[in-house]
Amino acid sequence: MGKKAVAAAQQRLASELANATEDTKLELELQKQALEEAMAATKLKIRKLLRKKKNIPKKLFDCLPWLRGIVPNHNRQLRPPFNYNIHVKKLCVWDIRKLYGIGSCSSNSAAFKMILLAIQRCPKLEKISLKGCEERGSYLRGMLSVPSLRALCLPLPYTDSVFDLLCALSRTAHNLETISIISNDKFILEESLEHDCLQLLIQSQNRLKKIKMTKVEIKLCSLFKLLESQSNSLESIVLKECIILKDDPDFMPGSITFHRLTNLCMSKCELSIGMVIVRAHVPNLKRFDVIRCEADFGWNESWAIL
């Protein structure tokens, strides 16, 4: 309830009290007291939620029916709904599923409806993680109306619904700064490139800064070609638990230049024999981390920074 609505409700109650009979005065006094207590309790509850910055969507939704039960019905036209959308900037499907108990997130579940409602009603969402989501394509309609989206976390493997989602996002979401791709199994990126959906999404971004891939099977030359359209903005590439295959022999070193790339990290990856780890021109690379990677060959014959 906003300040204007509260003032209007209080003014109306004061006016009714002035003209009330003894029989109705007590009821109006109780309504006034209930209104003040409801506002104080709601402000305290919302203040605590914003301090925690955790599980905000569900708890804010729960807050509204609680408030409706306290304020009398004939005062509802004076109360605009709480504008929770200006506070919610991050949405994680997995966290919301845990609130409802780990189970199916089908289109009939309460968790699914809560997630879709949050996507549709919170235009200031900056980060959406679809990890733990089974019907990813069902969120498509809502995600197309998120103009502030800056970070997207996509689970794999790819399905037709995910292809549709990526293609649609490439037409509507152009301000992504971070894209994270996570696979439960070793996913072969080469197969997804045949559909061009991921490449379309990357090419459609105005200023992509970071890409992270987890448990993906990939050739570095294919990765660099995939990211070539963002060579003037990309700052960080992170590969975690990936299988990095031998590069194509016809890929020319230095044919792609990443002008702003400053960080390249490989963590817990499996490196193929005879592989070139960095095969693009990276003049401003400041950090090149290879952390706990497995390889059956000598580094001197297998990597180079060009």
- pLDDT for res 132: 63
For each successive 10 residues of the chain (306 residues), what is the average pLDDT?
59 65 60 68 66 52 46 45 66 70 61 70 76 58 68 72 73 87 71 71 91 87 86 93 77 73 90 61 86 67 46
pLDDT attached to residue 10: 63
DSSP label of 245: E
Q: Look at residue 66 in the predicted model and tell me its pLDDT.
A: 43
pLDDT of residue 246: 77
Give pLDDT tens digits for 170-218.
887 888 999 998 876 666 666 666 567 888 889 999 999 999 998 888 8
Task: Give per-residue pLDDT as tens, 21-37.
Answer: 655 655 656 666 666 66
Domains of the chain as residue ranges with CATH: 1-55 (no CATH), 150-306 (3.80.10)
Count CA atoms closer than 13 A to 222's CA, side-chain side: 19
Instruction: Quote the pLDDT of residue 306.
Output: 43
The pLDDT of residue 89? 78
pLDDT at 297: 55
Which pLDDT score is estimated for 101?
A: 62
How is residue 109 written in tokens? 């579940």
pLDDT, position 77: 46
Inter-residue long-range contacts of 172-175, CB under 8 Å, 24+ positions, other chains counted:
172/143, 172/144, 173/143, 173/144, 173/146, 173/149, 173/201, 173/204, 173/205, 174/204, 174/205, 174/206, 175/147, 175/148, 175/149, 175/150, 175/205, 175/206, 175/207
In this prediction, residue 25 carries a pLDDT of 58
pTM score of the predicted model: 0.64
